[in-house]
Amino acid sequence: MLTIAAVQASYVLMDREATIDRVDELTADAARQGAQLVVLPEAFVPGTPIWIDTRPIWDGDDRWFRMLVENAVVVPSPATDRLASIAGTHGVWLVVGVQEREATGSTIYNTVLYFSPDGRLVNRHRKLVPTGSERTVWGMGDGSTLRVVDTGRGRVGGLICWENYMPLARFHLYAQGVDVWVAPTLATGDAWVATMQHLARENRMFVVGVNPVLHVDSIRADFPDREELVPAALVEENGPWIEPGNTVVVGPSGAVLAGPVREEERTLVVEVDLTDVAAARRFMDPTGHYNRPDVFSLHVDTSPRPATTVTERSTDTAG
């Protein structure tokens, strides 16, 4: 058995340390409810760059982007040490979405980090392809981070938001024997819940779709250019929930076990029996007896993307 907590919560926009404080509080609460695997939303630390949908690129978003760079998570860093300590203190597997950057440079990656109950960072996945306006702030990941984690209670892995629509990426992770699929996302509505159900049935696994939730009143009054970040006309048209949430947990048959939760902070705690995965694959195992490797093959480049290098060459001359 495995007890999973899918945490739908609000971050403190563009404030890394305050949001990690929230991670600590939320993880502690989930652990008190018996959770062994705690999953938090996409880009949770330090929050979604919500201006990408309200401000045209290059049109005065410099101040907000500067905040993003300053509050992004470097791996490793004191921020990841804090997150690892939270997992260790509460004795849980912790999966949390962050906006990551290298120690130098300003390219941001949409990343999910996995921490073990003994307080270690054990896996990092960078989103392969940012979607739509996300490409104005996020770079692309590579195949080196497409890995599944063996927790000792089951194998956990997954993809971020619309990466879940990439069938080859899914198959590569399926082939690693994933039992619990985590899908931190910003996607909303019933169609996304149907996607989570499809994935669960496709690989006969448990699926945890986790969203952030953000009410306009949660953005602090002194946030820089707040009235431009969340224009009053936009709030009037779409309502006060900038991110309404859509958290759901689905079983191997595609049945919804909990959720979807919308327009509120709430942690869904679900106890699952991982032997249900093996039983369900008796009928459908897409990388086992329902696979045709004699017909199909998949090549995945799991090497890291080469970093840009500068070679300096000096020539000594004798006078």
Q: Hey, which residues does 210 pair with through a beta bridge?
A: 184
- pLDDT confidence of residue 308: 55
Q: Hey, which residues does 3 pair with through a beta bridge?
A: 271
**Per the domain annotation, does 300 fall within a domain?**
no
102 backbone dihedrals φ, ψ, rounded to 5°: -70, 165
Q: Hey, which residues does 261 pair with through a beta bridge?
A: 247
**Per the domain annotation, does 297 fall within a domain?**
no
The percent of the chain in helix, strand and coil, each rounded to the nearest 5, is 30, 25, 45
42 backbone dihedrals φ, ψ, rounded to 5°: -60, 140
CATH number (domain holding residue 195) = 3.60.110.10
- pLDDT confidence of residue 238: 85
Alpha helices in the chain (DSSP H): 16-32, 62-71, 78-90, 167-174, 190-203, 226-229, 232-238, 275-280
**Per the domain annotation, does 182 fall within a domain?**
yes
CA–CA distances in Å: residue 80 to residues 24, 100, 123, 202, 232: 12, 10, 12, 34, 36
The residue range of the domain holding 160 is 2-280
Active site residues: 42, 127, 161
Cα–Cα distance, 304 to 19 (Å, whole number) = 29
Residue with token string 């999953």: 39
Question: Pick from 51, 146, 145, 45: which is nearest to 96 by CA?
Answer: 45
Number of neighbouring beta carbons within 10 Å of residue 224: 11
**Per the domain annotation, does 89 fall within a domain?**
yes
Q: Hey, which residues does 126 pair with through a beta bridge?
A: 111
CA–CA distances in Å: residue 32 to residues 3, 38, 267: 12, 12, 12
Angle (CA) 184-5-87 rounded to 5° is 85
Angle (CA) 241-20-25 rounded to 5° is 80
Number of neighbouring beta carbons within 10 Å of residue 74: 14
CA–CA distances in Å: residue 18 to residues 23, 25, 230: 9, 11, 21
**Per the domain annotation, does 60 fall within a domain?**
yes
99 backbone dihedrals φ, ψ, rounded to 5°: -100, 120
Q: Hey, which residues does 85 pair with through a beta bridge?
A: none
> What's the number of domains the chain is made of?
1
- pLDDT confidence of residue 267: 98
**Per the domain annotation, does 146 fall within a domain?**
yes
pLDDT tens track of the chain, all 319 residues? Answer: 999 999 999 999 999 999 999 999 999 999 999 999 999 999 999 999 999 887 766 677 888 999 999 999 999 999 999 999 999 999 999 999 999 999 988 899 999 999 999 999 999 999 999 998 899 899 999 999 999 999 998 999 999 999 999 999 999 999 999 999 999 999 999 999 999 999 999 999 999 999 999 999 999 999 999 988 888 888 888 899 999 999 999 999 999 999 999 999 999 999 999 999 999 999 999 999 999 999 999 999 999 986 655 555 555 544 4
Q: Hey, which residues does 94 pair with through a beta bridge?
A: 38, 115
Residue 58 CB partners (closer than 8 Å, separation 6+): none
Contact status, residue 74 vs residue 106, Cβ threshold 8 Å: no
Residues 239-262: b if buried by 16+ CB within 10 A, e if exposed: eebbbbbbbbbbbbebeebbbbbb
**Per the domain annotation, does 290 fall within a domain?**
no
**Per the domain annotation, does 301 fall within a domain?**
no
Q: Which helix (H) or strand (E) holds 112?
A: strand 108-115
Amino acid at 15: D
